[in-house]
Structure 1
Amino acid sequence: MARVLVDATSVPADRGGVGRYLDGLLGAVGTLLSDDLSVVAQRSDQERYQQMLPQARVIAAPAAAAHRPARLAWEQTGLPILAQQVSAEVLHSPFYTCPLRASCPVTVTVHDATFFTEPEHYDASRRTFFRSAIRTSMRRAARVIVPSKATRDELIRLLDADPTRIDVAYHGVDPAAFHAPTDEEKARVRARLGLTGDYVAFLGAKEPRKNVPNLIRGWVLAVRDLPNPPALVVAGGSGHDDDIDRAATEVPAHLRLIRPGYLRYADLPGFLGGALVAAYPSYGEGFGLPVLEAMACGAPVLTTPRLSLPEVGGDAVAYTTEDPERIAKDLLALLDDEPRRKTLARAGLLRATEFTWAASAEAHIAAWQRAITDVKR
């Protein structure tokens, strides 16, 4: 087995998508690599990863690495030195950026190409930084790991990337964390959110690419004339989409829009599985982890057929477009059709079982082994 150092210092404190990716991946990799795995993490995460990976070597990064500019500088200088110290045969960087020089092969995860395909949904500084980081990683990394065929194809189309150096490793879902909820789990979330009736759920970052403003407007159009209109609960971290606030001011007084921010991890099955519909009308995703997690919780899902989302949802989800009028039409059709919602919920539960972190770990390890083999040639 390869001796691998994984850089987990990019994991945010909120354990969003990147955190769930690394947590799920490392938990599965740890069982396969055992003491051949080293992980460097923020000091605040060291104990957490040590408990998760008792046989791995978990190292705390310098305290300054908690700040992004310092972390990026340490990535170029301290991380390659650490790879030497732990005798790593391959170094994995899981979030777009990677060291330009190291004594061992470097692999990097590029999560999506939307900084190129959907540039209008990012502010100029973020767009410029990640475009540059992706181009650099595509040139410098021994291998690039992507979470979907759609992302691979976009990198090839847009950046003329070498397809022989790109490996697809789908994300997985943890069935212990995301499962069909009990009535008690649903009731607990309803009580926390102050819900007395039905609701439509959104879970994700408040970024323009997620299309939350049009979801709000589409929900208003769909439910405003219903006798018992379901609420819309928009949960997840804060972002940089000011249009969400504008859309919120347009909601009629008799409708209820709830924006609780982050929900506790333990509440997510009850939140997603207790919804009439989990709506995710994104402009495009590199994978679409919230869609998979909603399916695993038994929620009927409404999403778009953009980029990777059909690879995740297949025939087990309903599709719409990004504009509010079509979202309204397709959402109302689901709200009016309980048998279809139940069919989608069952299909989603079954399809979600196809995406495991064990399979993702095996695909990553295969990519790491290829990186080592390529260097030895």
Structure 2
Amino acid sequence: MDLAVVALRTDAERYSRMLPRAEVVAAPAAVAHRPARLAWEQTGLPLLAQQVGAKVLHSPFYTCPLRAGCPVTVTVHDATFFTEPEHYDKTRRTFFRSAIKTSLRRASRVIVPSKATRDELIRLLDADPTVIDVAYHGVDQTAFHVPTEEEKARVRARLGLGDSGYVAFLGAKEPRKNVPNLIRGWSRAVTDLPDPPALVVAGGQGHDDDIDRAVAEVPAHLRLLRPGYLRYADLPGFLGGALVAAYPSYGEGFGLPILEAMACGTPVLTTPRLSLPEVGGDAVGYTTEDPDRIATDLRDLLQDEQRRITLAKAGFDRAKEFTWDSSAEVHIAAWRRAAE
């Protein structure tokens, strides 16, 4: 199967290196801005698909051309714009709700990353189950691996943690990720421990204003770090060096951060919302979104070393079941069905 990838000009060289057998086409410079990109997707992208002789056009992020000139497949990553609307601003919520409904009507095949997302689309939007394909995300076992002691020490040194233990969060700071309640739960869980572990909240800044309010409530003797983005090469050391990776999300289309932590041999504490149990199974610990319950469950896990060891091993073994090769096979099968 021949592959042509359309990318922003800033990404074209990187995709050319990653996909040496693909034809990588740089989109016009103007589409770097979202409004122009959305407009070009409806007009310029179908023309480009025609020029490269595409038999199927795949849109990887909710939206798709209305008149593509060939069958279209589209990835809908989650249904949380419908199930958790309060966690999005009105403009974003309105746009993505409309985009998802349009894609479900127009696309020949719809690809989703979990059965939970498929079931939500069917339940909430009366989507046709016969055109939805579930392609689980994978995890790169080379990029996300059980780190060496040297890798862990390097990250601790960069974060200024020394030999102190810590709880890790890695992800976007969106309201749906529940970071404020994680901060409150961690604070209550460790405040009276003789050697309280730090909380390190890493990742992009996001748009959750309640995080600053939660930070202001943290007692002065506890240590909370917000380093922002970490170097990609440091992620195994960061995740694998943590006592616990905590991800008490209100719901995910897949939940890649918990899979990456599992692949690094880290015990995970998350919630049983939407797709997260599909990924974690019996290999992770579960809590709720409430800060008091997070505090209780996190403290229990921090004080039970044997359970952390058991979860770490079970999570590492389970992570091996999720591969990008398997995901690619589902995508290719969906494209073939669309072309036929």
Quickly name the TM-score band, shorter chain normalised: over 0.9
Query: In structure 1, which of residues 120, 125, 140 is the aligned counterpart of residue 106 of structure 2?
Result: 140
> How big is the shift at 1:238?
1.3
TM-score of the superposed pair, with normalisation by structure 2: 0.99
Aligned match of 1:112? 78
Partner Cα separation in structure 2 for residue 275 and residue 71 of structure 1:
39
Residue aligned with 1:279, SS: strand
Question: How do 1:246-265 residues align onto structure 2 when only pairs under 5 Å count?
Answer: 246-265=213-232
Partner Cα separation in structure 2 for residue 351 and residue 258 of structure 1:
30
Residue aligned with 1:348, SS: helix
Residue aligned with 1:130, SS: helix
Does 1:161 find its partner at 2:127? yes
Query: In structure 2, which of residues 265, 268, 274 is the aligned counterpart of residue 307 of structure 1?
Result: 274
> How big is the shift at 1:372?
1.1
Aligned match of 1:285? 252
> How big is the shift at 1:102?
1.0
Aligned match of 2:185? 218
Query: In structure 2, which of residues 265, 272, 293 is the aligned counterpart of residue 298 of structure 1?
Result: 265
* Equivalent position amino acid for 2:179 in 1: V
Aligned match of 2:28? 62
Aligned match of 1:9? none
Partner Cα separation in structure 2 for residue 370 and residue 298 of structure 1:
38
* Equivalent position amino acid for 1:359 in 2: S
Aligned match of 1:201? 168
Residue aligned with 1:346, SS: helix
Instruction: Kindly report structure 1 stretches of 4+ aligned residues shifted beyond 4 Å.
Output: none
Partner Cα separation in structure 2 for residue 316 and residue 86 of structure 1:
45
Does 1:351 find its partner at 2:315? no
Aligned match of 2:153? 187
Residue aligned with 2:57, SS: strand
CA deviation digits over 1:254-311, x for unaligned, max 9? 0000000111111100000000000000000000000100000111000000000000
> How big is the shift at 1:101?
0.6
Residue aligned with 1:314, SS: helix
Residue aligned with 1:358, SS: helix
Residue aligned with 1:48, SS: helix
Aligned match of 1:231? 198
> How big is the shift at 1:365?
0.4
Aligned match of 1:38? 4
Residue aligned with 1:321, SS: coil
Partner Cα separation in structure 1 for residue 29 and residue 216 of structure 2:
42
Once superposed, what is the RMSD of the aligned Cα atoms? 0.5
> How big is the shift at 1:91?
0.6
Partner Cα separation in structure 2 for residue 47 and residue 187 of structure 1:
33
Does 1:82 find its partner at 2:48? yes
Residue aligned with 1:192, SS: helix
CA deviation digits over 1:88-145, x for unaligned, max 9? 1101000000100111100000000000000001111110110011011111111100
Residue aligned with 1:229, SS: coil
Aligned match of 1:19? none
> How big is the shift at 1:154?
0.1
Residue aligned with 1:78, SS: helix
Partner Cα separation in structure 1 for residue 179 and residue 274 of structure 2:
18
* Equivalent position amino acid for 1:307 in 2: L
Partner Cα separation in structure 2 for residue 87 and residue 273 of structure 1:
45
CA deviation digits over 1:140-168, x for unaligned, max 9? 11110000000000000000000001110
Partner Cα separation in structure 2 for residue 137 and residue 232 of structure 1:
40
Residue aligned with 1:240, SS: coil
Residue aligned with 1:59, SS: strand
Aligned match of 2:137? 171
Aligned match of 1:123? 89
Partner Cα separation in structure 2 for residue 371 and residue 44 of structure 1:
30
Partner Cα separation in structure 2 for residue 75 and residue 102 of structure 1:
9
Residue aligned with 1:213, SS: helix
CA deviation digits over 1:225-253, x for unaligned, max 9? 00000000000111110000000000000
Aligned match of 2:334? 367
CA deviation digits over 1:196-253, x for unaligned, max 9? 2000000000000000000000001100000000000000111110000000000000
* Equivalent position amino acid for 1:242 in 2: D
How many positions carry a matched residue from both structures?
A: 339
* Equivalent position amino acid for 2:338 in 1: A
